[in-house]
Amino acid sequence: MQISNQSETFDTNGEKQHGISTIIGSDPEDILEISVDRYTPEIKKTTIESINLRRLPIGWQALQGLGSAINWMKDSPIESQDLTAIKPPTEIYFAIPMVASVIANNNNPQIPVMLPKKIEIEKIKPWLWILDKFIGKFSENLSEKFGNYIEKKGQNIVTETGTKIYKVSERIRTIEHPQEQFITELEELYRHITEPQYTKYQDFWGDEVIEEIPMEDRVREIVQFFAQATRRIYLGGDPNIDYNERNRKSHRANYPILSICMYDIIDTQIGSLLEEGIVIATPEFLYGVETFLRQHNVSNIRPAPNSPEFDLFNPNTWTRAAMELIAPEKLERVKNGLPHVLSLIHKALPKSGSEFSKKLYEISENVCSLKAQGESDTRIAQNIFAY
């Protein structure tokens, strides 16, 4: 069990000097205050250059162009054209070593966790400090409880962020060749969607009717499946439970890389493209996937389907027909831009999952060592994101 109090670190197996600190167990909610023995961890000498994220073995050049490629394909562009240039705001620099300590601790329990104190949280949220002081004018007891609540919420955010990153890393670690796996999963997904699927039901007269499931419905179910599966694995629950019978073949275990890729965008503005956009542009979406697969020597796959014809008595065709009439260029951008986006994602993925995770944990441990050596949060954050 690891312990931390602001910039000081502790461990229950350490040298004795009585004090008060915060213990965090295996459950992020398991946070409490107790009297502990002080411990000074062994400081591993390291250099500030060793924590740069550019040391991660991924395709940084491909990642650099991914933002602009996505922007070209869709209407509501993501904020950063260069995804490698994204940096956190300076006011949360103090939390970066803490998040790194959570990642390092998950990998190596001997490394203590650092968690924020109320005063640090109030510095980035001044209104909390004002509210705390206002409450204190009426009741010191309520003010203390409010302060403890603020502190616990901040600690939970740090813990959950670090744990989420660790779980993604562990998922990647189990994949021997992520780049090859990406192509394999896309091929399997494409075959599953383009293979005719049927549903049975009884009509008004009690006769059994067999109908083919529309391609758009299959695509919609796949997108919803990924949304639920990715949330399940990171937010709790069993990721191996299919959300409906018809998606049994789309078991999350078959698509580990695609689930990871989609997780970080499922709740962002790009996510709007995933469900409604992709469903409307199903022929173009599948054409883009087919083109990418053939560019990577995947053969014996069905050709992408043509656009469904407008049917006055079928409301499912109305939106598609309207899009073809009003904005056909948007459909063409998906068709022509998706192969390039997929290619950049493929190149950005690490060649070795284990090497990626190993380097991430090394960087996290080095951050903890630099913090113990007395490096400032600002200098650590600047060097992590330097490029």
**What is the per-residue pLDDT across 317-336, written as a single tens digit (0 to 9) for each?**
667 777 777 777 888 888 88
With 90 as the cut, is the pLDDT of residue 207 above it? no
User: Which one is predicted more confidently, 256 or 372?
Assistant: 372
Question: What is the average pLDDT across 188-203?
Answer: 83
pLDDT band at 352 (very low <50, low <70, confident <90, very high): very high
Q: How confident is the model at residue 184 (pLDDT cuts 50, 70, 90)?
A: very high
What is the average per-residue pLDDT within 162-181?
A: 92
- pLDDT at site 377: 93
187 has a pLDDT exceeding 80: yes
In this structure, of 104-118, 128-142, 256-270, the range with the lowest mean pLDDT score is 256-270
| pLDDT value, residue 139 | 87
pLDDT at 225 over 60: yes
| Average pLDDT value for residue range 270-276 | 48
Least confident window among 47-51, 145-149, 152-156: 145-149
Predicted local distance difference test score (pLDDT) of residue 380:
95
Residue 36, strand partner residues: 19
**Mean pLDDT, residues 238-253:** 44
User: Stretch 55-81: mean pLDDT, rounded?
Assistant: 78
Mean pLDDT of 36-46: 52
Q: Give me the pLDDT at residue 85, please.
A: 74
3-state SS of the chain?
A: CEEEECCEEEECCCCCCEEEEEEECCCCCCEEEEEEECCCCCCCCCCHHHHCHHHCCCCHHHHHHHHHHHHHHCCCCCCCCCHHHCCCCHHHHHHHHHHHHHHHHHHCCCCCCCCCCHHHHHHHCHHHHHHHHHHHCCCHHHHHHHHHHHHHHHHHHHHHHHHHHHHHHHHHHCCCCHHHHHHHHHHHHHHHHHCCCEEEEECCCCCEEEEECCHHHHHHHHHHHHHHHHHHHHHCCCCCCCCCHHHHHHCHHHCHHHHHHHHCCCCCCCHHHHHHHHHHCHHHHHHHHHHHHHHCCCCCCCCCCCCCCCCCCCHHHHHHHHHHHHCHHHHHHHHHHHHHHHHHHHHHCCCCHHHHHHHHHHHHHHHHHHHHHCCCHHHHHHHHCCC
- pLDDT band at 253; cut points 50, 70, 90: low
What is the rounded CA–CA span in Å between residue 155 and residue 166?
A: 16
Q: Which two tokens stand for residue 233?
A: 């694995």
Quote the pTM value.
Answer: 0.73
How confident is residue 210, by pLDDT bands cut at 50, 70 and 90?
A: confident
User: Which of 21-25, 31-35, 353-357 is the least confident region?
Assistant: 31-35
Helix axes 377-384, 353-373, angle to 10 degrees: 160
Tokens at residue 231, please? 């949330």
Q: Does residue 384 register a pLDDT over 90?
A: yes
pLDDT the model gives residue 38: 32
Average pLDDT over residues 49-65: 91
Average pLDDT value over all residues in the chain = 76
Domain boundaries, the chain: 2-57+87-164+363-384, 178-348
Tokens of 284: 């173009």
